[in-house]
Structures are given as C-alpha cells and as structure tokens.
C-alpha cells in the first residue's frame, strides 16, 4: 500500500500540531481562559477573580494563576500594606489572545444554538 500524502505535507501537519499543542499547553483546561477573561475584565484581587468564576475552588485558582504568571500572561504584584494586598493584572502579551478568545466565544455561541437551540 502506497502512502498518498507527500512527506512535505506530513511535516507541515506535524509542525502545525506541535505549535497548536504548545498553545493548548498554555491556555487549555476548564479554567485558564475564564481566568484570563476575568482579569482582562478588571477583576484584580484573588477573591474578586474567584467570585467572578462560578464553581472554581481557591486551590485550583491559585495553581492556574501561578501557571498563567509563569507564561507571562498575567502579572502578580504584592503591595506592602497591612494586610498585604496582591493584585493580578493582564500583561500586554495576554492581549495577543483577544482574537482567539473572541473566536472561541463566537464558536461557543453558535455551538450552543446548534446543539441546544438557544
């Protein structure tokens, strides 16, 4: 049986999968995009972010915030006050995801209509 796809097409496919996998490693999961949207919408303190996202636990939020900070999508600032104030803000880099988030929103709205008729 002969292979119907040329080697260059296979390599392009693999390269595309690799970069998409890299992106998904950063933003995939149930919570990361929701956290990004919350922070981009102006929620800065841990409890504000937590309250803005239904059903997220404090433990999960803390882990996801740390991951997003490591990937330079958000910035954590600690203010030396009493009590200590910690704020999370969107970096310029996170705004490169705006088109992706908008397309996910549009696709999700259309999918909801298709599947649920809403």
Does the residue 40 lie in any domain? yes
Per the structure, the count of domains in the chain is 1
Q: Which residues span the domain enclosing 56?
A: 7-116
Q: Is residue 27 part of a domain?
A: yes
pLDDT digits (tens, 9 = 90+) for 50-96: 999 999 999 999 999 999 999 999 999 999 999 999 999 999 999 99
Residue 1 resides in a domain: no
Give the domain CATH number at 102: 1.10.10.10
Q: Are 64 and 76 in contact (CB under 8 A)?
A: no
DSSP β-bridge partners for residue 78: 86
User: Per the domain annotation, does 14 fall within a domain?
Assistant: yes
pLDDT at 6 over 90: no
Cα separation, 16 vs 108, whole angstroms: 23
Q: How confident is the model at residue 2 (pLDDT cuts 50, 70, 90)?
A: low
Answer yes or no: are the C-beta atoms of 49 and 14 closer than 8 Å.
no
Tell me the pLDDT of the chain averaged across its residues: 94
The reply to whether 2 falls in a domain is no
In whole angstroms, what is the distance from residue 67 CA to residue 1 CA? 46
28 assigned to some structural domain: yes
What local confidence, expressed as pLDDT, does residue 8 receive? 77
Q: Is residue 37 part of a domain?
A: yes
- Name residue 76's beta-bridge partners: 88
CA 66/CA 89 separation, integer angstroms: 13
């Amino acid at each position: 049986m002969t292979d119907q796809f040329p080697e260059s097409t296979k390599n392009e496919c693999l390269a595309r999968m690799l970069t998409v996998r890299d992106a998904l490693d950063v933003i995939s999961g149930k919570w990361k995009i929701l956290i990004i949207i919350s922070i981009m919408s102006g929620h800065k303190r841990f409890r504000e972010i937590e309250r803005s996202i239904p059903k997220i636990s404090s433990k999960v939020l803390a882990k996801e915030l740390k991951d997003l900070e490591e990937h330079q999508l958000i910035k954590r600032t600690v203010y030396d006050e009493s009590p200590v104030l910690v704020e999370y803000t969107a970096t310029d880099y996170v705004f490169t995801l705006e088109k992706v988030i908008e397309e996910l929103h549009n696709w999700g709205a259309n999918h909801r209509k298709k599947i649920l008729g809403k």
